[in-house]
Amino acid sequence: MRRPTARALLATPVAALSLTGLALSPMAGASLPFGPETVAVADYTAPHGGVDESTRYVVTSAAEHDDHFAAAARVDTVRDASGQELVISKTTADRIPAMNSAVAGERAPGFRSFATLAEAEAFIASDRSAEAVQQQLALPAIDNQATVSPWLEEVQESRIRQTITDLSTSWPNRYYASSHGKAASAYLHDAWSSIAGEREDVTVAYDESCGSDCGVQQNVTMTVQGTENPDEIVVIGAHYDSISDTGSGDSMQAPGADDNASATATVTEVAQVALANGWKPKRTVVFAAYAAEEVGLVGSDAMARDHAAQGKNVVGVLNQDMTNYDGGSTDMALMQDNTNTELNSFNSELFDTYLAPKGMTLGTMECGYGCSDHASWTAAGYPASMVSESELFPQLHTTGDALENTGGTADHSVKFAQFGLAFLGEMAKTGA
């Protein structure tokens, strides 16, 4: 049976409407320092309130398809520019959460998704990953200790913990097609606006590139204009949506504390620390909170392709996805696939310079096809990198992805905020 959609709800008597309004408000008891907006029922249009049976074309590796997604109807098998065998399959939007949970315990989503077959085929035909991973870069020397070293001591666990708590307890989910997912985007827009303050060289925006493909969410960006090389762009980001296979739309239970309130919070902390004392970068910096990652890297794909279409010069991307579970043999893992080889070496050097002296350790990991948002930048032809916890939190994409199940603190995420600050300070440098 279809759940009533927003349009149906609007036709109901006033008493029912006000009850619905209550249900859409942030949950009582949560701390909301940035005052997220309460999403009006009228903003919440069909089909996202009910079961969304719109068609989605899913692209994944042949192995991934056979292991996890064989129930989706295979449309075509093709090879991409790097020779990898890919499967395009056809499903409906409401089945995506179940597909995502099929890869539970592994990096997910593990696929890209598109509204039409033509878009899926166009993506594969224009995928520039093969050249992007090998691209030779003019990476800077690691010489900005004067800025970076003091930053590392200014990271506050309590601030990261608060952001994780807000994002994972204010609403039942941050699903891309739920009013809560939209409220989460407003929360981040408010939080980042308060970090930006009155500075004229800092802009917080909803990135419009994704349109309705991102459901009721949009990517949220904060851009800090470079003082010397404004056309050279450094991107640091994380996805903020969440998912689980517990229903659709507003009723889904998906706290997503580790996946990925944790890295949304670390990126927010990086911005907080860097901008607290009026720091200005030589290169332009874009902080990004990506929408709709869990349904196939949809938000980051739109943003990366929009940058490419405009001919923008993105010189380096850092993606963080899952940062607060301290269950692995090393503190952090650097993804080796769908990332730029030279940028990975640079990141290893950064780690050795700034974090290893604090006793931290770095390992490597293979992420798989379409596993997180760095793959979108790589596919658009840009040099991208990705760090995450080195053992994935086993309860990702379940109702158990709550802060108390990763120890109740943000201690592990502090390390990722410090790494993000090292990346930021050394890639963007300090301007006058």
Residues that bind Zn ion (CB under 5 A): 259-260, 321
CB of 29 to Zn ion, least distance (A): 26
Q: How many CB atoms sit inside 10 A of residue 408's CB?
A: 11
3-state secondary structure 116-136: CHHHHHHHHHHCCHHHHHHCC
Instruction: Identify which of residues 49 and 420 has a Cβ nearer to Zn ion in the complex.
Output: 420
Of the candidates 194, 357, 188, the one whose C-alpha atom is nearest the C-alpha of residue 263 is: 188
Give CA–CA dist 56/91, Å, rounded: 5
Q: Based on C-alpha coordinates, what's the Rg of the chain?
A: 20
Spot the catalytic one: 52, 207, 301, 321: 321
Instruction: Identify which of residues 218 and 223 has a Cβ nearer to Zn ion in the complex.
Output: 218
Is 78 in contact with 25 (CB distance < 8 Å)? Answer: no
Q: Is 259 a known active-site residue?
A: yes
CB of 396 to Zn ion, least distance (A): 7
Instruction: Identify which of residues 47 and 299 has a Cβ nearer to Zn ion in the complex.
Output: 299
Of the candidates 188, 256, 243, 261, the one whose C-alpha atom is nearest the C-alpha of residue 413 is: 261
Instruction: Identify which of residues 354 and 416 has a Cβ nearer to Zn ion in the complex.
Output: 416
Q: Residue 113 pairs with which residues in a beta bridge?
A: 58
Is 305 in contact with 125 (CB distance < 8 Å)? Answer: no
Give CA–CA dist 249/260, Å, rounded: 18
Of the candidates 202, 236, 242, the one whose C-alpha atom is nearest the C-alpha of residue 222 is: 202
CB of 370 to Zn ion, least distance (A): 12
Instruction: Identify which of residues 275 and 402 has a Cβ nearer to Zn ion in the complex.
Output: 402
Relative orientation angle of helices 179-196 and 157-169, to the nearest 10 degrees: 150
Greatest Cα pair distance, the chain, in angstroms, is 65
Spot the catalytic one: 397, 401, 412, 426: 397
Using CA atoms, how far residue 233 sits from 17, 18, 28, 285, 343, in Å, is: 46, 46, 40, 6, 15
Instruction: Identify which of residues 232 and 321 has a Cβ nearer to Zn ion in the complex.
Output: 321
Q: Is 397 a known active-site residue?
A: yes
Q: Is 294 a known active-site residue?
A: yes
Q: Is 239 a known active-site residue?
A: yes
Spot the catalytic one: 64, 190, 293, 401: 293
Instruction: Identify which of residues 183 and 295 has a Cβ nearer to Zn ion in the complex.
Output: 295
Give CA–CA dist 155/230, Å, rounded: 27
Q: What is the dihedral of CA 26, 27, 29, 32, to 10 degrees?
A: -20
Catalytic residues: 239, 259, 293-294, 321, 397
